């Protein structure tokens, strides 16, 4: 039976232990860069995102539990060529992660490291992906959680965008990508326009401009109505969808005659061929219709 005259950890004891852990990691640990993942077009069925990007990095000290070498099978030949399988377990102090990374609000999970985020180890120039986070590794004797344990593996590049501002990290994209133009990314394109105000007084069709700080290339032609909609903008025909739009561009009408016409662009992410089911976006919509319209869509009863 536990001694009732001793508390299971006081604030002073807990803070002292936390400071000792952080100091130990600063002495015996290694400096790494934590690189949070940003999801662009998540596949809700498979839970993946082939358009992920990494645009920020944060230096932080961590401790390698693997003191002599990396785990894994190392270099091995397979049908796709030479593969280097390396894994390790890293320990990071909760308090330091919250101070340096969690407080920035750039992570998918705000309260702990997230699977799928990256770590760059400058000593070996290796880029690792977090595969599992053991976020409950308590020091039961004084009743507090002090560290996260991160199980990482060597990162396998899959067309993600790396733009952290650190050349040693960003170079992985140019080394691994199959594209010769890494400046343009197919985040989205303008697929339509909704007229929100037809305006009035247009003697000739106004020119249309798509204004955006991210994408480029979208263009369209305004069409004027007849009869009851004479001298008004009734639609915009898209002549070029453009590329790279992360946010919806604003639409500006330029005319020397009419006024007040306004419209809203429609941006669609299309990372596969036209009308493809490869990204599951169309399949997802079709599947929802089937599942919720049938009592048992996978059987005869």
Where does a domain end: 176, 202, 235?
A: 176
| 54 and 155 housed in the same domain | yes
pLDDT digit string, tens, across residues 46-58: 777 777 889 999 9
Q: What are phi and psi of 228, to 5 degrees?
A: -65, -25
| 122 and 167 housed in the same domain | yes
Residue 210 domain flag: yes
> What is the pLDDT, as a whole number, of residue 176?
61
| 162 and 30 housed in the same domain | yes
Where does a domain end: 109, 144, 176?
A: 176
| 44 and 114 housed in the same domain | yes
> What is the pLDDT, as a whole number, of residue 180?
44
Q: Is the pLDDT of residue 178 over 60?
A: no
The residues with which 127 forms a beta bridge, in sequence order, are 120
List, in order, residues 6 or more apart from 164 with CB less than 8 Å away. 33, 35, 54, 55, 56, 57, 170
Query: What's the structural domain count of the chain?
Result: 3
> What is the pLDDT, as a whole number, of residue 82?
57
> What is the pLDDT, as a whole number, of residue 1?
65
Where does a domain end: 151, 176, 201?
A: 176
pLDDT digit string, tens, across residues 179-237: 544 444 446 889 999 999 999 999 999 999 999 988 889 999 999 999 999 999 999 99
| 199 and 296 housed in the same domain | no
Q: Is the pLDDT of residue 45 over 60?
A: yes
What domain range is 107 assigned to?
11-176
| 40 and 111 housed in the same domain | yes
109-137: average pLDDT: 89
Residue 45 domain flag: yes
Residue 256 domain flag: yes
| 102 and 202 housed in the same domain | no
Predicted structure pTM score: 0.59
| 139 and 263 housed in the same domain | no
């Amino acid at each position: 039976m536990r001694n009732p005259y001793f508390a299971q950890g006081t604030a002073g004891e807990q803070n002292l232990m936390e400071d000792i852990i952080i100091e130990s990691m600063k002495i015996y640990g290694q400096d790494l860069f934590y690189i949070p993942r940003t999801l662009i077009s998540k596949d809700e069925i498979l839970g993946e995102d082939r358009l992920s990007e990494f645009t920020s990095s944060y230096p932080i000290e961590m401790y390698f539990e693997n003191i002599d070498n990396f785990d894994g099978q190392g270099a091995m030949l397979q049908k796709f060529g030479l593969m280097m399988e390396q894994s390790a377990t890293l320990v990071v102090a909760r308090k330091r992660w919250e101070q340096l990374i969690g407080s920035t609000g750039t992570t998918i999970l705000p309260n702990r490291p997230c699977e799928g985020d990256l770590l760059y180890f400058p000593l070996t120039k290796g880029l690792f992906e977090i595969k599992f986070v053991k976020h409950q590794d308590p020091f039961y004797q004084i009743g507090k959680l002090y560290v996260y344990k991160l199980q990482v593996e060597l990162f396998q590049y899959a067309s993600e965008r790396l733009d952290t501002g650190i050349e040693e990290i960003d170079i992985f994209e140019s080394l691994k990508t199959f594209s010769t133009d890494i400046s343009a990314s197919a985040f989205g394109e303008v697929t339509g326009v909704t007229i929100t105000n037809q305006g009035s007084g247009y003697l000739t069709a106004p020119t249309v401009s798509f204004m955006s700080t991210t994408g480029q290339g979208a263009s369209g032609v305004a069409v004027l109505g007849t009869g009851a909609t004479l001298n008004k903008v009734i639609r915009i025909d898209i002549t070029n969808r453009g590329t790279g739009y992360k946010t919806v561009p604003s639409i500006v009408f330029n005319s020397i005659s009419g006024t007040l016409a306004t419209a809203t662009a429609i941006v669609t992410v299309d990372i596969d061929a036209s009308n493809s089911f490869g990204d599951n976006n169309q399949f997802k919509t079709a599947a929802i219709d089937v599942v919720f319209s049938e009592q048992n869509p996978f059987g005869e009863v």
